[in-house]
Structure 1
């Protein structure tokens, strides 16, 4: 049956619409895969790609920067991954940047995250290789978690055993918890400790006040701390030292003199120890006294002599005049 014109128009419109939708989808998919934009190649070496596939995203600081272009198995432990990076972002990646394989969310596709370096290195160039860090695998996490669960189960069993013994009053802790006498003693001990702590605090306060009062110059310690007083005391001590040295020297000389006297040396020993000399001195003193008495008698006789009477009277008159004046 021959198709009408309207049907042909509808068919043509449908074909054209489908073709446009196809072209747009191809464009968006290609743009997402960086097939039509300006890109540079960047390489990274991994030990395990953890399910990474061609076309997976590459992110730099959380921003989509490109896609995975190729995954090449070099050997059993080296896998080379080549990435297509947008040129607008490529210039910001430094040579010390680090590539890490992660997941897009909890259960999303695997992606490559490029972590920026310290920023003091030069930018990467086309075809450069950057450093990688091994990602912790899920199997390792599960293995570690399994060990942790086993340890937790053992700890729980031990804890249950300990708590059961405590409840039954076994051991030191059980006795402390279940014995009322020990509880009372402990309570009383804590009370005494509290009282003692309070007394200690008061003693420390008084001691601090006492130490603070030592800084006052009105008391003995304060006076001793005064530099002027300290200098005076220092001078007094020095004078005492010099005086002590002089006294020691005087005592030494005195001891020497006494020793000389004891040994019969010098005039003093001669005068004090010779009995004949003593008798002679006594006789001399007696003679001097007698001579003095006789001299007085002779002077008295001269006063009555007519030759010297005028002289003595004249002396007496002058003495009287001097007394009157």
Structure 2
């Protein structure tokens, strides 16, 4: 009987110890503590670990590679995290990789994500401190979402007020109930389309004009591209300038002459004054012109009498025949000239 009791006690102790060991083993496996495989230590320093605790997972490019061993406070603004990483990753992770704190889902446990930089660098050594990168803080994200929610509530209230004002507006509903409004809008759209087409056509025409000007076509193109025309224009401008200067000189001379004439008229001197103010001079000039006219008439009568005089009749006939021959030669020469070609 005593032997049976001892065996029962031994069996119970063995079962309890096995159960305790199984619980511890399951806990360690669940925490991925890597107690049953080779590992090495890596470190990273953060200003805020955002609720990270020992036992949280460590991932490399999304793959589970270790766990957080401990978190040590270096100073009031700096925390150091020690990570136990699988030994096989010692030949993969490089010392320029970045460590950041993330989370499993939106509200899951914190994890450390190690991301490669993509640049060549030596492999990590045991105890090496990786570069830290600030991750997305869930608290900050929730605060931002809360602020966004408040803004959305304000916008919804304003939108509700706007909808109520629209519903209470009789003028707006009268416009919407107007039967001719769609037809007018359609006509306006057609007019806008026509205006746009005309504007496009004008733009094409303007582009063609600019192209022709650049290629030297037309008057404007010739002016802008023909160097000889530019020289001719410069010469013409110079000549116009010279003519202007000459005109200025002539105007000055004419002004001086007019001034002298005015002075003679005012002083009673000169021929102009005699012509304008001396009545006897005018009478004499009229008499002289009358005598000249009478003398010319008498001279014409004498010349006509000489043509019929038998002494000078032959001379005048020869002159008449010579004039006729010259007129015939001129007419023959004009008939032999070729007609000008039509342009």
TM-score bracket for the superposition, by shorter chain length: 0.5 to 0.7
Which residue matches 2:220?
Answer: 221
Q: Which segments of 5 or more consecutive residues in structure 2 lack a partner in the other structure?
A: 2-17, 264-343
- Trace 1:197-216 onto structure 2 (pairs within 5 A): 197-212=196-211, 214=213
C-alpha contact 2:50 2:137 (8 A) present in aligned 1: no
- In structure 2, do the counterparts of structure 1 residues 208 and 100 end up closer, same or farther at CA, with 3 Å as the change threshold? closer
1:44 aligns with 2:60: no
Pair 1:72–1:200, CA change in 2 (3 A): closer
Partner of 1:65: 65
**TM-score scaled to structure 2, two decimals?**
0.50
1:148: which partner in 2?
A: 148
Give, in whole Å, the separation in 2 of the partners of 1:208 and 1:112: 63
CA shift for structure 1 position 155:
2.4
TM-score with structure 1 setting the length: 0.52
How far apart are 1:33 and its partner, in Å? 0.5
Q: Distance in 1 between matches of 2:131 and 2:171?
A: 58
Output the CA distance in 1 between the equivalents of 2:32 and 2:197: 79
Match of 1:80 in 2: 80
Q: Which residue of 1 aligns with 2:231?
A: 231
Distance 2:171 2:194 in 1: 27
Distance 1:123 1:197, change over 3 A: same
Give, in angstroms, the shift of residue 31 of structure 1.
Answer: 9.3
Look up the match of 2:111: 111
Give the length in aligned residue pairs: 244
Contact persistence 1:49–1:79 (CA under 8 A): no
Deviation (angstroms), 1:164: 3.4
Residues 170, 88 of structure 1: CA spacing in aligned structure 2 closer, same or farther, 3 A cutoff? same
Tell me by how many angstroms 1:220 deviates. 2.8
Q: CA RMSD in A?
A: 5.0
Structure 1: state its 5+ residue gaps. Answer: 2-17, 264-325
* Alpha-carbon separation, structure 2, partners of 1:109 and 1:129: 23
Helix, strand or coil at the partner of 1:33: coil
State which structure, 1 or 2, has the greater radius of gyration over its C-alpha atoms.
1
Q: Retained in 2: the 8 A contact 1:98–1:115? A: yes
